[in-house]
Structure formats: C-alpha cells, structure tokens
C-alpha cells in the first residue's frame, strides 16, 4: 500500500536503488525516429529535507561504459572517441546546487552535470511519486524526472549529414529518470 506521509517524516539520507531506478535518454535518429537508451551502472544519494525542500541535495555517478541502447554496435560507437571517450572519461556526474518546490508534488533540482570533463548547469523537473515501506522493511521514496540538454554544450559534436538534409543524431537529448531510493537507518 502506497501512502504519502507528512513530508517532514521523509527528512533523511537516501541511497538510490539501481535495481529499481532508470537513468535514461532519448535522441532523434536520422530525423525520423527516437532512439532510447539507459545506463546500467550508477550510484547516487539524496538528502531530503521535508520541512525545507530547498535544503535537499542529490548526487549521481554514472559509469559511461554501462550505456545500453539495445544495439552493441551503437553502444560501441557511443563509447568511442566520437562520443563519450569512456577510456578517458569513465564517469558522468551530477552534483546538485539548489532545490525548490514548484507546488504540489512538483520540484526542481538544479546542479552541475559533468560529461567529458566539461561541467555545465542543468535543471531537472521532478514529480514526487510517494513514499512507502517495502516488504523488506525499507522506507522508500520515488521520483520521476525529466530534462533536456544540448549535447554540443558538453563537447559531444559528432554527427553525419543526411542526403535528404538534416543530421543523423539530434543535438537535443531528452533525459528521463525513474528513481527509487531507500532511507538509511
């Protein structure tokens, strides 16, 4: 049974549960379709302040070699020097700098996203999905989030022109997050 408790009771330290969390992305491909992918290896923490959401924080560390788009060839290309250069830059990181309540169950967390050694600010809109005690006695919280970035702002500029006009890979990338986190005792 999912219940939404008084937010003050949610205050505490949480660890993101990778088995029940998705860190994903969508890119336009060949100007006609979307290609979706996700990262399979990551870790993160949340500090939630239910009394003053502006004091909440988040961290995320993503292993870039764990990229999965459902195509081994495409994944290999994304790991190469054309894109993520995973040998040189094995991690992507996010460190929050501010958080705010937008009203209701909506929040925005802003922070520094580092890809390829370049750090730029990003804002992620989050919806609080609720809190519950799981069958193993863990206190869990859930959030869904989304953001859009231009990959070129992090130096991800590889592309190929199409005969019909346009490019193979969009500059705009949609990020999506389905986060389940467990409260630390």
Tens digits of residue pLDDT in 122-159: 999 999 999 999 999 999 999 999 999 998 899 877 76
Mean pLDDT in residue range 33-53: 92
Cross-strand partners of 110: 98, 123
Q: For the residues of 75-111, what is the DSSP string, one character each?
A: HHHHHSTTTT-TTT--EEEEEEEEEEEEETTEEEEEE
pLDDT at position 170, please? Answer: 77
* 164 vs 115, more confident: 115
Q: Which helix (H) or strand (E) holds 73?
A: helix 72-79
Q: Which helix (H) or strand (E) holds 72?
A: helix 72-79
Q: What is the dihedral of CA 84, 145, 57, 107, to 10 degrees?
A: 150
pLDDT at position 3, please? Answer: 39
Instruction: Identify which of 41, 42, 100, 40 has the alpha carbon closest to the alpha carbon of residue 69.
Output: 40
Q: What is the dihedral of CA 184, 121, 110, 128, to 10 degrees?
A: -80
* In the chain, % of residues over pLDDT 90: 70
**Strands 91-103 and 106-115, bridge-based pairing:** antiparallel
Residue with tokens 């054309």: 82
Which of 13-27, 55-69, 73-87, 162-176 has the lowest average pLDDT?
A: 162-176
* In the chain, % of residues over pLDDT 70: 89
Report how far residue 149's alpha carbon sits from residue 43's, in angstroms, rounded to the nearest whole number: 21
> What's the mean pLDDT when you consider all of the chain?
89
pLDDT at position 172, please? Answer: 86
Tens digits of residue pLDDT in 4-15: 446 778 899 999
């Amino acid at each position: 049974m999912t219940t939404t408790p008084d937010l003050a009771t949610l205050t505490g330290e949480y660890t993101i549960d990778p088995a029940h969390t998705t860190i994903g992305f969508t890119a336009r491909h060949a100007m006609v379709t979307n290609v979706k992918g996700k990262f399979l290896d990551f870790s993160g923490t949340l500090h939630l302040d239910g009394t003053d959401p502006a004091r909440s924080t988040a961290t995320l560390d993503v292993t870039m070699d764990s990229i999965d788009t459902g195509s081994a060839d495409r994944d290999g290309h994304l790991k190469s020097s054309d894109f993520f250069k995973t040998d040189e830059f094995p991690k992507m990181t996010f460190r929050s700098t501010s958080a705010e309540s937008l009203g209701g169950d909506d929040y925005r967390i802003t922070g520094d996203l580092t890809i390829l050694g370049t750090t730029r600010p990003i804002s992620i809109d989050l919806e609080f999905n609720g809190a519950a005690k799981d069958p193993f006695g863990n206190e869990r919280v859930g959030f869904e989030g989304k953001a859009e970035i231009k990959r070129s702002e992090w130096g991800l500029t590889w592309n190929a022109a199409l005969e019909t006009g346009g490019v193979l890979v969009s500059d705009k990338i949609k990020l999506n997050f389905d986060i389940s986190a467990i409260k630390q005792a």
